[in-house]
A and B are shown apart, each in its own frame.
Chain A
Amino acid sequence: NAGVTQTPKFRVLKTGQSMTLLCAQDMNHEYMYWYRQDPGMGLRLIHYSVGEGTTAKGEVPDGYNVSRLKKQNFLLGLESAAPSQTSVYFCASTQSGQAKTQYFGPGTRLLVL
């Protein structure tokens, strides 16, 4: 039981490049989330999903897209990376009806040059 996993662990991009971050969970959770963590800003919600095939915007959605084609996976895409997207990205999941105890992944460190 791996819990929540994230791929890749670290990535360097040039401005304008695109990439996809993958989040996978094996706990059969309904809800999944993408956050970014920046010094002094805490954790900010980018997008989230309350079920397969559904997504919703969070606090800072601009410049990101997401997809939840399978219940266990939640993808975060950057179509044209910008230096302002340099951050640590965390994925989390929780069972429906218990959107409180969120289980987090180990994080993806992204550097955009």
Chain B
Amino acid sequence: AQRVTQPEKLLSVFKGAPVELKCNYSYSGSPELFWYVQYSRQRLQLLLRHISRESIKGFTADLNKGETSFHLKKPFAQEEDSAMYYCALLTGGGNKLTFGTGTQLKVEL
């Protein structure tokens, strides 16, 4: 079964502290994974995808097939990082995304 698990509903960190948002997946094929972000009062938008191996706004995510994980990391959290983060897996033959339940990140001063 195709599934994306985000175990933390809420993650609270202090400004300047490292951030790690966890994402685990279950998928029989070769996975393609993404992180989407929803800032307060804004629409959901793509943050990054694993095939690009990019760093956006200081965030990185590495696909670990052995652990079936795609955790989102940032070395130093900023106040503007506070948002809802969703991990997503490409499914349905590439036609659709399966989202996790999301993690609300709160960066405190």
Chain A residues with a Cβ under 8 A of chain B: 4, 31, 33, 35, 40-45, 48, 50, 56, 58-59, 90, 92, 99-102, 104-107
Check B43–A104 contact: CB distance below 8 A.
yes
Q: Report the minimum CB–CB distance from A33 to chain B (whole Å).
A: 7
- Chain B's closest residue to A92 (CB) is B44
Chain B residues with a Cβ under 8 A of chain A: 6, 9, 32, 34, 36, 43-46, 49, 86, 90, 94-102
Check A42–B100 contact: CB distance below 8 A.
yes
Q: Report the minimum CB–CB distance from A32 to chain B (whole Å).
A: 11
Name the residue among A42, A99, A101, A104 with the largest chain B CB count within 10 angstroms.
Answer: A42
- Chain B's closest residue to A107 (CB) is B43
Residue numbers in B under 8 Å from A106 (CB-CB): 43
Contact of A102 among B9, B46, B94, B100 (CB under 8 A): B46
- Chain A's closest residue to B32 (CB) is A100
**Chain A to chain B contacts (Cβ below 8 Å), 22 pairs:** A42-B101, A43-B44, A43-B86, A43-B99, A43-B102, A44-B99, A45-B96, A45-B98, A48-B95, A56-B95, A90-B44, A99-B90, A99-B94, A99-B96, A100-B49, A100-B90, A101-B46, A101-B49, A102-B97, A104-B43, A105-B43, A107-B43
Residue numbers in A under 8 Å from B102 (CB-CB): 42-43
Bound-state Cα–Cα, A107 to B44, Å = 9
Bound-state Cα–Cα, A58 to B90, Å = 13
Contact of B96 among A4, A33, A101 (CB under 8 A): A33
Name the residue among B90, B97, B99, B101 with the largest chain A CB count within 10 angstroms.
Answer: B97
Bound-state Cα–Cα, A56 to B46, Å = 23
Q: Report the minimum CB–CB distance from A43 to chain B (whole Å).
A: 4
Bound-state Cα–Cα, A43 to B34, Å = 14
Name the residue among B6, B44, B101 with the largest chain A CB count within 10 angstroms.
Answer: B44
Bound-state Cα–Cα, A50 to B94, Å = 11
Check A42–B43 contact: CB distance below 8 A.
no
Check B44–A100 contact: CB distance below 8 A.
no
Check A41–B101 contact: CB distance below 8 A.
yes
- Chain A's closest residue to B90 (CB) is A100
